Amino acid sequence: PAFTWEVRANDRNYHMQFKKRFAFCLTKKKYAGNAIKTAKYNIFTFLPLNLYEQFHRMANVYFVFVILLQTFPEISTLPWYTLLFPLSCLLTIRGLRDLIDDVGRHQSDRNINSRPCEILSGKSFRWQKWRDICVGDIVRLHKESFVPADMLLLCSSEPSSLCYVETADIDGETNLKFRQALLVTHQELVSEESMATFDGEVTCEEPNSRMHSFTGTLEWRGETYSLDSERILLRGCKLRNTDVCYGLVIYAGFDSKIMRNCGKIKRKKTKLDRMMDRLVIIIFLVLLVTSLCLAIASGFWARMFQEKHSYLSALYKNTTPAQQAFFNFWGFTILLSIIIPMSMYITFEFIYLVNSFFINWDLEMYYAVKDIPAKARSTSLNDQLGQIEYIFSDKTGTLTQNMMSFKKCCINGTIYGTGPGHENKQPSGSGLTWSHHGEKKLDFCDATLLEAAWRDSDPVLREFLRLLALCHTVMVEEKGDQLVYQAASPDEEALVLAARNLGYVFLARTQDTITISELGKKRTYKVLAMLDFNSDRKRMSVLVRDPQGTIRLYTKGADTVILERLQRRGPNETFTEMALDRFAEETLRTLCLASKEVSEVEYSKWSRRHREASVLLQDRTQELDKLYEEMEQNLQLLGATAIEDKLQDGVPETIQLLKLGNIKVWVLTGDKQETAMNIGYACKLLTDDMEILEEREISSAPTTPSSHSEILEAYWVSNNNLSGSGEVLCSSRLSQPCPEASCHKKRAIIVSGDFLDKILHMGEVLKEKKGWLWRRLACCRATGLQEPGSLVEKAFVDLATSCQAVICCRVTPKQKALIVQLVKKHKKAITLAIGDGANDVNMIKTADIGVGISGLEGMQAVQCSDYALAQFSYLQRLLLVHGRWAYLRICKFLRYFFYKTFAGLMAQVWFAFHSGFTAQPLYEGWFLALYNIFYTSYPVLSMGLLEQDVSAKKSLEFPELYVIGQQDELFNYRVFGITLLHGVSTSLASFYIALWAFEDGIGSKVVGDYESFAVTVATSALLSVFVEIILDTKFWTVLSFLMVTASLLLFCLFSFLTQSIDAFKIAPAVFRFPEASRNALTDPYILLVVLLSLVVNTIPSLTIRLYRTITGKNTIQQNIRLKARQEPEPSVELRAHVPHGSFHRRSRYAFSHQEGYAGLITRGDSLRTGDTRRAT
């Protein structure tokens, strides 16, 4: 990266002079202000920008085209303003919806930009707003406040200028992380005056989205000091355990790393929406072609007529056949334009809105504990909830409650914490006095263990509890008479709290002592050494001298590393291993605890070597690791602990149901791999019979630079059936248990953010290899397929989507969005992202559907989401019930709207063949105007609002039904084609049966006229449409019945009103069909003709339904629906997998803090001078 970002402290004028070009010759400030703007519109841009977005819908362009045609009186059939009004209503409804959403974003921006903070102004700090911060300012932060911009930590109130931060809003982790200022700024910047005179200059990389990296230098007083990410406080972090800290603003506002990871707001369109745009173009082209053919025919007919009837030439002296054809072309275009009715789009919006209310009103998705209902924040995506194929979920706060609780333990061959319903109470008469230190109620409390701890007769139990109170890096504060623990990880806090509740209370810590209260007796242990945790060692130890002078080593860590360091393996050890297996089956996070006594001679030798290793300049870490390894041998096992990372209610059941509905769940988290995998097992995403592909298992040579791409190449090769060396590559590189790519064994893949970075830059790696695979890829590129980088991406997506589960850990917010984008790009799948924090916002914006959890991490995710839920488990109802129903309803609505439109209005085309190809309407103008608004829209509307194939309960019992939406079965081009043919056949039958009947003068009355014919065709088509909708409605309600009845009554009412003699007398040009319906429909012969048309139109539908029923040729989904209606099935139960070889799983140990805390404690960096705590 280019190191061209220069920041001078306390020098705003320096930064103001720099500009950068951003569009053509326009420039803006190089250094952004700290105000942020996530809203799309402002008061000036709303109207033009919103209209621009709305006219991306092809239907709106089509309607404007028709309105423009209607402005020409020569070809107009209706006044242009009658069409402009409904279009304006449609645009206004959608515009208001967008405006309401954007007002919410403006409000959120105002709240964030108006947060207070202290900025150095002159020689003192003044309270100002976040938006007032500029690059180069020095800001003072207080405990529990959020960091307003990316800042270089200058100093803090803590020893050695340490600063503890929580990054839950950035990476979802709630454990504390420490940052430390440079020694020079810690020592020199000790007052407001020294801050005001500070004139250091930071040179670093340009603003970027890499959350976990920072490189730069600080130049001050002629010296240069290197800077890395350990010195930087990122915007969005929360200050914890630190009273005051000072920082120099490096990146502000949109230049900050978290804002660089926030994607832009994208207008989301559903799959059906995009298909409708294409259908509008197809229908319009067909309409133009039909109009052109009819116009050409009218020209020929006019010429033939004029030649044949030359005595009528006076009538045609001003128009040639060509002119007549030209005007007829536009006449037919306007006449047939109602094939895409505007009323359909207005009804569409209404159905979306009401279905959104159904989601809001669903009591099954109401979270009573916090009084949070489900909320559909977007009203135009409901049908897409029924087509989801991939769910991308955050972990912390979405799947988990972010709470650790001590659940079980095994001590000296006895398991505690097994009995249900233990109350949190002390045994009677115990007289214990440690309970007043407690501040949190403990989930775990086994009366047997409490009594055993109180009797103090078991030395192993005593050592076990002592280890929990001594072997940790927890800090303690006294608030009144309460002890408040501040832990680097929630696991550590859970263990120390468990020891406290069992009588072993951690009271105080200094640089070289730990004070604890053992069953009310205060004891101080001298800390001789702390052997720190890291991800390779998977354990931490503390070497202490007790008050009697005995030296003991206490160790806790993953079972895989502790068990192999034991002195002996006896019955207790075997039983503990069995207990660990049992805990692992319950998906608890386990640790093994061990200790040993160390002789003075052994310690003195080891201590001398330890001091020597501590001051080495080269290979210090390796030498220290060797010494730690020597000390941590011949241990005696004390027992094991089991901690639960509490899942939200119903998470495993929800994931199981979604899997049965063919929905794949991917977990994308900023957390460590061990934690993520443990949650994967806990929520049944990972199972024991799965083969886990981790990065180190992906290739046979993990040390080679390009190893990460090996399995992807192998997978791509095997999938593309390449021969020769490809097969060798495939068999050698794929993981050992399953060499064939086509192996059907269940697989899960676990990757990290670093791995994804390599995947996304693999094109360059491939170019360097110059091997046979690169030549193959180059060949592909030459033939115009895909770029090599894109092929590697596709190979990764293919591999990941072939797995039953995918977990991505240590990923940045931008990478989360990128993964969603990759699946959308290469799989063309509908995706849903669900999260609860600011770190999930980009992913939520990128996915087709974004769901925000109203959780502990603020409301940023909810404000950017399309749907807001209180719990992950409500997702099953949102998708499997509301989503599937919405998709079913919208598809049926579209199908029948198109059917009724074609069935009623295609008769205009057939009439042209019998009216000299003039653009004369067949129907009365009022029938055309009211057909789509009153006569046929209500039954279709009731179907769009209330239709169900099976009940909500059955939808959850048979999640397999969900596959219908994923496969686009209910509305696609084939279904549209069938609907078109069905509508055309209905119009043909209605028209030609009536025409056949009207060929001679018929009936007892004079009804052989044009008006009676039009009424007969109209009535036949209308009743045929009603019968078809009645046959296909699966869920009848009072409203459905009323809608059909109301439509028939409205047809009769409006026919009577518009065809009355009185109306004709008032405006004969407007009401042209006096008494036509009364004349025609009171004639028994005409009624028989209408009945014949109805029977002819209905028989094909009934025949197809009967044939399918007799032959059993239903789709799988139809059979499931039939089964769901007939026999009630038991609800889906989770069946526990038989664990085989779960030993490897127990190594998902309960550590989740970063390396380095032990060093801080032993150096005294994290301890205040003279910090002593007294037992009370």
In 3D space, the residue among 982, 788, 994, 985 whose CA is nearest the CA of residue 896 turns out to be 982
- Is residue 611 pLDDT above 50, yes or no? yes
In 3D space, the residue among 805, 855, 857, 867 whose CA is nearest the CA of residue 659 turns out to be 805
- Is residue 1050 pLDDT above 90, yes or no? yes
pLDDT tens per residue, range 320-336: 788 888 888 988 888 88
pLDDT confidence of residue 720? 54
**Mean pLDDT along residues 289-311:** 85
Give the confidence band of 83 by pLDDT, cuts at 50, 70, 90: confident
Q: Are 735 and 745 in contact (CB under 8 A)?
A: no
- For the chain, the straight-line distance linking the first and the last C-alpha, in angstroms and rounded, comes to 56
Helix 884-905 and helix 973-997, axial crossing angle in degrees, nearest 10 = 30
pLDDT confidence of residue 783? 41
Give the confidence band of 429 by pLDDT, cuts at 50, 70, 90: very low
Rounded Cα distance between 949 and 812, Å, is 42
Q: Higher confidence at residue 723 or residue 859?
A: 859
- Is residue 508 pLDDT above 80, yes or no? yes
Is 394 annotated as catalytic?
yes
Percent helix, strand, coil in the chain, to 5, is 50, 15, 30
Give the confidence band of 705 by pLDDT, cuts at 50, 70, 90: very low
**Mean pLDDT along residues 680-709:** 66
pLDDT confidence of residue 1123? 64
Rounded Cα distance between 580 and 563, Å, is 11
Query: Which of 511-515, 804-808, 1108-1112, 1117-1121 is predicted least confidently?
Result: 1117-1121
In 3D space, the residue among 350, 21, 266, 273 whose CA is nearest the CA of residue 847 turns out to be 266
- Is residue 200 pLDDT above 80, yes or no? yes
Q: And the tokens for 1150? A: 């309960």
Q: Higher confidence at residue 991 or residue 682?
A: 991
Query: Which of 871-875, 971-975, 1005-1009 is predicted least confidently?
Result: 1005-1009
pLDDT tens per residue, range 1011-1048: 889 999 999 999 999 999 999 998 899 999 999 999 99
pLDDT tens per residue, range 347-382: 888 999 999 999 999 999 999 988 899 999 888 899
Query: Which of 144-158, 795-809, 856-870, 1135-1149 is predicted least confidently?
Result: 1135-1149
Mean per-residue pLDDT of the chain: 82
Q: And the tokens for 1010? A: 């044009």
Contacts of 724 (CB under 8 A, 6+ apart): none
H-type alpha helices, 962-1060: 963-966, 973-997, 1010-1032, 1038-1058
pLDDT confidence of residue 592? 93
pLDDT confidence of residue 1122? 67
Rounded Cα distance between 557 and 971, Å, is 56
pLDDT confidence of residue 681? 86
Give the confidence band of 607 by pLDDT, cuts at 50, 70, 90: very high
H/E stretch holding 915 reads none
Q: Higher confidence at residue 431 or residue 239?
A: 239
Query: Which of 569-583, 596-610, 706-720 is predicted least confidently?
Result: 706-720
Q: Higher confidence at residue 1113 or residue 514?
A: 514
- Is residue 53 pLDDT above 60, yes or no? yes
Give the confidence band of 432 by pLDDT, cuts at 50, 70, 90: very low
Rounded Cα distance between 647 and 68, Å, is 60
pLDDT confidence of residue 823? 93
**Mean pLDDT along residues 270-291:** 92
Out of 394, 446, 840, 968, which one is annotated catalytic?
394
**Mean pLDDT along residues 900-909:** 90
In 3D space, the residue among 959, 966, 968, 946 whose CA is nearest the CA of residue 875 turns out to be 959
Could you give the count of Cα atoms lying within 13 Å of 701 in the half-sphere of its Cβ?
A: 9
**Mean pLDDT along residues 958-968:** 91
Q: Are 400 and 679 in contact (CB under 8 A)?
A: yes
A 10 A CB-CB count for 1168 gives 11
Contacts of 1153 (CB under 8 A, 6+ apart): 175, 176, 473, 487, 488, 489, 491, 492, 533
Highest mean pLDDT among 191-195, 371-375, 1092-1096: 1092-1096
pLDDT tens per residue, range 513-531: 899 999 989 999 999 998 8
Rounded Cα distance between 274 and 555, Å, is 61
Rounded Cα distance between 1062 and 1045, Å, is 27
- Is residue 493 pLDDT above 70, yes or no? yes
Q: Higher confidence at residue 29 or residue 1149?
A: 29
In 3D space, the residue among 358, 419, 352 whose CA is nearest the CA of residue 889 turns out to be 352
Rounded Cα distance between 672 and 753, Å, is 11
- Is residue 701 pLDDT above 50, yes or no? no
H/E stretch holding 508 reads strand 504-509
Give the confidence band of 784 by pLDDT, cuts at 50, 70, 90: very low
- Is residue 563 pLDDT above 70, yes or no? yes
pLDDT confidence of residue 1124? 64
pLDDT confidence of residue 719? 56
Position 1110, amino acid:
I
